[in-house]
Amino acid sequence: MDLNFTAEENAFREAMRAFVRAKLPERIRHKVLNGLRLTRDDHVTWQRALHAQGWGGPTWPKEFGGTGWTPVQQYIFEEESVVGGGPRLIPFGLKMVGPVIMTFGNQAQQQRFLPRILAAEDWWCQGYSETGAGSDLAALKTRAEQQGDHFIVNGQKTWTTYAQYADWIFCLVRTDATVKQQQGISFMLIDMKSPGVTVRPITMVDGTQEVNEVWFENVKVPAENLIGEINKGWTYAKFLLGHERANIAGVGISKRELNRAKKLAASAMKRGRPLLDDPLFAAKIAEVEIELMALEITNLRVLSAEAENRAPGPEASILKIKGTEIQQAVTELLVQAAGPAARAFVDEVMEVGQQSGTTGPSYASGVAGNYFNMRKLSIYGGSNEIQKNIISQMILQL
């Protein structure tokens, strides 16, 4: 197994860097590199710039309008994009429902939905979790009853990220309550503009609206929006979750944010010297950096297996656990480096405080809010505790 990049791959990396420098709007780069909040338009602008270059689907095969890049090229692109200040590509369309439609959808569904995902014409959200059905997803209760050429959907989804922006939602719904839980679930695409769909925001601790409740009251969904076979949705859901867990690792994002923590610590003073020169803090930085290097090697091993068409096994769960732990550790370093300036994390307070000079430098904006937000990483996509169970079952045969 050769984990070194080839000359062609290094040339590809340089091309990616040049593209990001030339095509990424400076206003978006500034927001990303300084931890400021992005708007829907920021994400759409970047996706459309990539699409115009023919790179709208970095992980997609050419037959569906993607790049056809190798797993290593995909990895290089994602790293160079996020380290260079590009927004992380919203995964719900590109990395979740898109692969499901490619693999299990029919030709009409592929022709209808996939080009619009690439062109950022449709924004998708994920309808999986419910009250009482998060980690135990098979316990979901949202139901869909078939009536001729359509289904009637009733129920509720929660923690639905960016539902306030979404045009479509891909949902797991119960279509048979008389069989084993996993056998009575279907995978369905629902237009968010349908009568009976209601989005209710869940206000975060920093005052933002990132997640939502989505309610379905007698929502009429055409039968043509059912993916694959009825009652086979659990198979498609497991396929999707494998993509989600590997995507959560976020090596490039951790590299970018660790660099930000170093810069912040170099500016913060402690006992008359930069915090970065403090041996205890420097040791914490080094510890996280070593963990990140090990994670990157593991990620490259998974890519090598994919390139050889070998199934990665439990590595997706390993990447999910370590990736989320490292991202959370980096947010802790950022809060320590920001010091008292991290106390203000609500937008209005930060804006007023920076104007008056009472909340510290602008580069500390959002540090605490991001710290609180990132607590979710070890929960969604299958909690880390569940991932450890998966690893023990697959490796130790427990």
For the chain, how are helix, strand and coil distributed in percent, rounded to 5?
Answer: 55, 15, 30
DSSP run (H or E) holding 197: strand 197-203
- What's the longest Cα–Cα distance across the chain? 75
Question: Helix (H, G, I), strand (E, B), or coil: what is residue 286?
Answer: helix
Name residues whose C-beta falls within 8 Å of residue 267's C-beta, 6 or more positions apart in sequence: 274, 361, 363
In the chain, what is the straight-line distance between the N-terminal and C-terminal CA atoms, in Å? Answer: 29
User: 338: buried, middle or exposed (CB in 10 Å: 19+, 13-18, 0-12)?
Assistant: buried
313 sits in the region (left: phi over 0; alpha: psi -120 to 50; else beta) called left
Three-state SS for 323? helix
Of 244, 257, 296, 306, the catalytic one is 244
- Are 95 and 331 in contact, with CB atoms under 8 Å apart? no
Helix (H, G, I), strand (E, B) or coil at 345: coil
φ/ψ of 166, rounded to 5, equals -75, 145
Is 332 tagged catalytic? no
Are the C-beta atoms of 28 and 87 separated by less than 8 Å?
yes
Structure tokens at 269: 């003073």
CA–centroid distance for 282 within its chain: 29
> Catalytic residue positions?
244
